[in-house]
């Protein structure tokens, strides 16, 4: 992470906040303001804690592309190639930087970390930028994912993972086997490792291989202090824990990716067994809530690239996919494709509905439509659609996690085929050609 911070500072994408700032709401206000104007990431150096707090690292698409060292035209190909060319991790040799400071027993105190309260009705301070490392208790396959944790006290965290997410599945399997589940919250890693958490892959995938593929080099891992998990050796902080399902406490509310507060409810706890960190460790925060926040930017590129890869295997004329931030990078999907036969666009829609995203809206357009411009998508929907023929509803589809408006855990999905009718002559688009290359110095900007 430190190398990425240097790059962001050099490019004017990270600013230091040297005045004292409250962890109660003020961090959230600052991040919301920076997000609204697509401003820089913020490094809070005076946080009511011994540690600085950095947040907003992936708060704009521009910074995400900087992290990937890619452009809009190359990003999806780069990510899909990385997924197809995984690189396994390596064991770190010697004492790892993430364990320069080790806190055990009575020295463990989560309240000394700069953990903010982001929104006024949040149930308390939340760790939102942590990567959870856990393993399937049967296979030992590791999973890394981004999950939320509420501070309940110096050594206790409230945890939440949807039942269809791998961390939730690992918890359920451990409970069924009546064995403890060990986990670790990793905070402050290189960009590709945190983006690897968002890649949509199967339960049998080893996420360290995906992270290595994205990095183009192995992730160096070190064994945790109080368990047998392995974590990134250069992480800023590692919070080791065991899941305690017998001690359930009220967790929530929290302003979530849907733009709504999730209601408070009884959930299992995480009992912290060790905290380790680098000397001069830098803690990381992340604002989530009504789109668009950093949470949405962080998910978008990995979601798009991995779902595009899955769909193109079946529908090779799919040119691109947009999973919109406004839909929480979950509920609204736009696909650009050239149908090869009557009804293929509808088949692609059904495949997207069956993906892990569980979208409510899937729109397919021709490749001449810019799927990242809502006005162009709306143009296609307005003039290339016969609602009776091209719009359909699939009822009782699985809903996206935390969707506030469902019917007993189910929802429905709407498919819209906004491509030109197959095999039928259609009017030519009226558009001024070559205007982008026209020299007009009166309005051109350098």
Return the closest-CA partner of residue 210 out of 82, 365, 296, 61: 82
pLDDT tens per residue across span 257-284: 999 999 999 999 999 999 999 999 999 9
pTM given for the model: 0.92
Range 136-140 contact pairs with CB under 8 angstroms and sequence separation of 24 or more: 136/166, 136/169, 136/170, 136/173, 136/203, 137/170, 137/173, 137/174, 137/177, 137/179, 137/181, 138/173, 138/177, 139/204
Residues of the chain falling short of pLDDT 50 = none
Domains of the chain: 2-285 (2.30.110.10), 315-418 (3.40.1670.10)
Return the closest-CA partner of residue 415 out of 344, 345, 363: 363
Contact 129, 55 (CB under 8 A): yes
| Radius of gyration over every alpha carbon of the chain, rounded to an integer in angstroms | 23
pLDDT tens per residue across span 137-170: 999 999 999 999 999 999 999 999 887 788 999 9
What is the rounded CA–CA span in Å between residue 197 and residue 322? Answer: 19
Return the closest-CA partner of residue 187 out of 68, 282, 301, 319: 282
Q: What pLDDT, on the 0 to 100 scale, is given for residue 446?
A: 60
């Amino acid at each position: 992470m430190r190398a990425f911070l240097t790059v962001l500072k050099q490019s004017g994408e990270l600013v230091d906040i040297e005045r004292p700032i409250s962890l109660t709401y003020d961090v959230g206000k600052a991040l919301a303001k920076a997000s609204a104007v697509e401003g820089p990431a913020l490094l809070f150096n005076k946080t009511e804690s011994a540690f600085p707090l950095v947040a907003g690292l992936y708060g704009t698409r521009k910074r995400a592309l900087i992290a990937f060292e890619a452009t809009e035209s190359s990003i999806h190909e780069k990510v899909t190639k990385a997924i197809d060319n995984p690189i396994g991790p390596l064991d770190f040799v010697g004492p790892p930087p993430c364990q320069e400071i080790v806190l055990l027993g009575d020295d463990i105190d989560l309240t000394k970390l700069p953990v903010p309260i982001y929104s006024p009705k949040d149930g308390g301070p939340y760790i939102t930028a942590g990567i959870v490392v856990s393993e399937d208790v049967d296979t030992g396959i590791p999973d890394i994912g981004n999950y939320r944790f509420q501070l309940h006290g110096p050594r206790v965290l409230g945890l939440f993972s949807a039942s269809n997410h791998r961390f939730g599945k690992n918890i359920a399997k451990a409970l069924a086997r009546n064995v403890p589940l060990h986990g670790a919250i990793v905070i402050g890693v290189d960009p590709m490792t945190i983006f690897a958490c968002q890649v949509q892959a199967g339960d049998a995938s080893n996420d360290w291989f995906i992270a290595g593929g994205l990095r183009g080099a192995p992730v160096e891992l070190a064994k945790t202090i109080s368990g047998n998990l392995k974590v990134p050796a250069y992480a800023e902080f590692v919070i080791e824990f065991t899941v305690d399902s017998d001690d359930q406490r009220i967790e929530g509310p929290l302003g979530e990716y849907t733009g709504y507060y999730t209601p408070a409810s009884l959930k299992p706890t995480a009992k912290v067994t060790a905290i380790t960190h680098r000397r001069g460790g830098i803690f990381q925060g992340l604002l989530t809530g009504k789109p668009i926040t950093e949470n949405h930017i962080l998910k978008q590129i990995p979601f798009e690239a991995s779902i595009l890869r899955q769909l193109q295997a079946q529908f090779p004329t799919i040119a691109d996919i947009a999973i919109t931030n406004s839909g929480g990078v979950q509920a609204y999907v736009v696909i650009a494709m050239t149908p090869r036969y009557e009804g293929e666009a509808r088949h692609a829609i059904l495949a997207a509905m069956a993906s892990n995203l569980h979208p409510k809206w899937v729109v397919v357009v021709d490749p001449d439509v810019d799927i990242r411009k809502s006005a162009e998508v709306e143009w296609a929907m307005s003039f290339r659609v016969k609602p009776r023929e091209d719009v359909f509803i699939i009822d009782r589809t699985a809903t996206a996690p935390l969707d506030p408006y469902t019917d007993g855990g189910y929802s429905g999905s709407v498919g819209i085929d906004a491509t030109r009718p197959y095999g039928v002559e259609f009017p030519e688009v009226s558009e001024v050609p070559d205007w982008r290359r026209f020299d007009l110095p009166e309005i051109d900007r350098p």
